[in-house]
Structure 1
Amino acid sequence: MGLSLRNTLTATACAIICGYSAVALGQTSEDELAKQLSNPIASLTSVPLQLNWDDNVGPAEEGTKTTLNVQPVIPVSISEDWNMISRTIVPIISQGDIFPGAGSQFGLGDTTQSLFFSPKAPTASGWVWGVGPVLLIPTGTDDLLGTGKWGAGPTAVVLKQTSSGWTYGALINQIWSFAGDDNRADVNGTYFQPFLAKGLGKGRTISVNFESSYNWETDKATVPLNLAYSKVTRWGKQLVSLQGGVRYYVEQPQSDSQWGLRFVVTLLYPKK
């Protein structure tokens, strides 16, 4: 075998091996990011842009509602063993005819700010947990988009992630109003979100959750079931997760609306 042919074959083999390693590394990185996204208190800075669409809203089933939730997640190391994870939800809402004579509204809803204090290491049995305060901020720009109340309470999350790609757990918070417009109804609500996700490899995840809420003032529950599929990829140099899914309302007050859609673009900023 000539020297030039040998060098060519050697270079080709090295290119194939290096190329395969790069692909494997990329897939591992994507899978790790997908795994972190399944954990609400992972040490991953991200900005989910969550678009929700619902039709047949309201008692007359003539309303529509579109909500874009801007949800930055920022982890901060506060000691050698603890993180503080800031999770903010700022809703931008467009809705119309949610009840007869309501007309249409567009603007901000109320902001929800949560802080979770979480150990950096899981427990001996592999559980991850975090607890902290949640604050309701009356940023609603219309009476039909917000509560007009300041509120606060506790929040907590617990979850476990397995070597086979499963993530399961639950997030809960309770908010009571303590200030705001005296002419508006008090806030006393519980939010409970059990969730289950399965990593499928190559940055892909399928997930299901209940985003159930209960209004103790009206004794009414809202229980949507969300089923979604997501994929971690790149837009140029920007890492993103793209998710699409459907929502089925198991229970919803004052409406027979049962279906909705959800699309999420999450900007990812992993530690370098």
Structure 2
Amino acid sequence: MNLRHSALAVLFLGSAFSSFADAASDSAQANNPLANMTAFNMQNYYIGNMSGSDKTANQFWLRYAQPFTLGESQWLLRASLPLNTYPSPPTGGRQTGLGDMNLFTAWLIDTGNPAVSFGFGPQITAPTASKNALGSEKWSAGLVNVLFDASSPTFQYGYLASWQHSFAGESNRSDVNVAAFQPFLFLQLGGGTYLRSAPIWNYNFQNDGYGVPLGLGIGQVIKSKNTVYNFFIEPQGSVADNGPGQPRWQIFAGLNLQFPN
């Protein structure tokens, strides 16, 4: 091989390595809720069996996240609005409509490692439900804390912890005092394909109700121009629950989009 061919080979290998590195970086950051990118998510929970009911249910979530700068601090704003389909015990049917909107703002703390994201801040839930049975009819506020570690291109992990308590709303409805913890586990298989587990564990301090599901799913990350598409499906089953309204099994699926700022 002559010098010219050697130089071309080095350039080709360098370009290929850069492409593989970029793809690995995109896959590692595709599930980061604190990624420094604008995000729009469409996520759905099909609940095939729910405690206290023989009916199925469904939650379809629209989520929008936007990083912003306030002074010298970096923040992330996330808005979530569900479309709920829940059983209606008096009629034996179902009701479908908008649920309560949630907003949280997380202050992103400099961890000294650009692959590790950590943030915390306030949250508020507004009683935007279109039907009484589809929401709490309460204003609630609380705190959120998020960690995501993408130091490894192969395995990423983290969590989203939250708590909120009602402070206003309809007096004839139960107060809200709930906590939730969502662990994130992602194992990259290569080519943008990954295994995932991201169940939400919840506890209701008002009635000691709780749900502890576990899940195992698969996802695919595809980058087209500057947009990252993240498709996934994750069946989840309950390993412990108490009280009505807890999913015994459900299917979590969605499409997450990330755009450059």
TM-score with structure 1 setting the length: 0.82
Aligned match for 1:88, one of 67, 79, 93: 79
Question: Match for residue 220 of structure 1?
Answer: 209
Question: Match for residue 55 of structure 1?
Answer: 48
Question: Match for residue 6 of structure 1?
Answer: none
- 1:120-135 aligned within 5 A: 121-123=110-112, 127-135=116-124
Aligned match for 1:190, one of 179, 186, 189: 179
Q: Give the 3-state SS of the residue equivalent to 1:222 in structure 2.
A: strand
* Amino acid of the structure 1 residue aligned with 2:58: T
Distance (whole Å) between structure 2 residues aligned to residue 115 and residue 246 of structure 1: 29
Distance (whole Å) between structure 1 residues aligned to residue 26 and residue 146 of structure 2: 19
- Compared CA separation, residues 186 and 257, structure 1 to 2 (3 A): closer
Aligned match for 1:34, one of 19, 23, 27: 27
Structure 1 stretches lacking a partner, 5+ long: 1-9
CA contact (8 A) 2:25 2:153 kept: no
Match status 1:71 vs 2:63:
yes
Match status 1:264 vs 2:254:
yes
- Compared CA separation, residues 162 and 106, structure 1 to 2 (3 A): same
CA contact (8 A) 1:149 1:179 kept: yes
- 1:175-214 aligned within 5 A: 175-214=164-203
Distance (whole Å) between structure 1 residues aligned to residue 45 and residue 114 of structure 2: 36
* Amino acid of the structure 1 residue aligned with 2:122: P
- Compared CA separation, residues 117 and 255, structure 1 to 2 (3 A): closer
- Compared CA separation, residues 151 and 127, structure 1 to 2 (3 A): same
Distance (whole Å) between structure 2 residues aligned to residue 258 and residue 24 of structure 1: 45
- 1:13-32 aligned within 5 A: 25-32=18-25
* Amino acid of the structure 1 residue aligned with 2:259: Y
- Compared CA separation, residues 255 and 110, structure 1 to 2 (3 A): closer
TM-score with structure 2 setting the length: 0.85
Question: Match for residue 126 of structure 2?
Answer: 137
Question: Match for residue 101 of structure 1?
Answer: 91
Deviations 1:112-147 (A, max 9, x none): 11110012x424697531110011111111121100
CA contact (8 A) 1:243 1:265 kept: yes
CA contact (8 A) 1:27 1:203 kept: no
- Compared CA separation, residues 259 and 163, structure 1 to 2 (3 A): same
CA contact (8 A) 2:115 2:149 kept: yes
Distance (whole Å) between structure 2 residues aligned to residue 243 and residue 37 of structure 1: 11
Structure 2 stretches lacking a partner, 5+ long: none
When the two chains are superposed, the root-mean-square deviation of aligned CA atoms in Å is: 2.9
Question: Match for residue 232 of structure 1?
Answer: 221
- Compared CA separation, residues 149 and 182, structure 1 to 2 (3 A): same
CA contact (8 A) 2:227 2:260 kept: no
Distance (whole Å) between structure 1 residues aligned to residue 40 and residue 129 of structure 2: 21
Deviations 1:156-213 (A, max 9, x none): 1233332353222222111010011111110000111222222233222222133111
Distance (whole Å) between structure 2 residues aligned to residue 234 and residue 39 of structure 1: 15
CA contact (8 A) 1:150 1:178 kept: yes
Shift of 1:237: 7.6
* Amino acid of the structure 2 residue aligned with 1:103: G
Q: Give the 3-state SS of the residue equivalent to 2:134 in structure 1.
A: coil
Q: Give the 3-state SS of the residue equivalent to 2:132 in structure 1.
A: coil
Shift of 1:103: 2.2
- Compared CA separation, residues 239 and 255, structure 1 to 2 (3 A): closer
Distance (whole Å) between structure 2 residues aligned to residue 143 and residue 269 of structure 1: 36
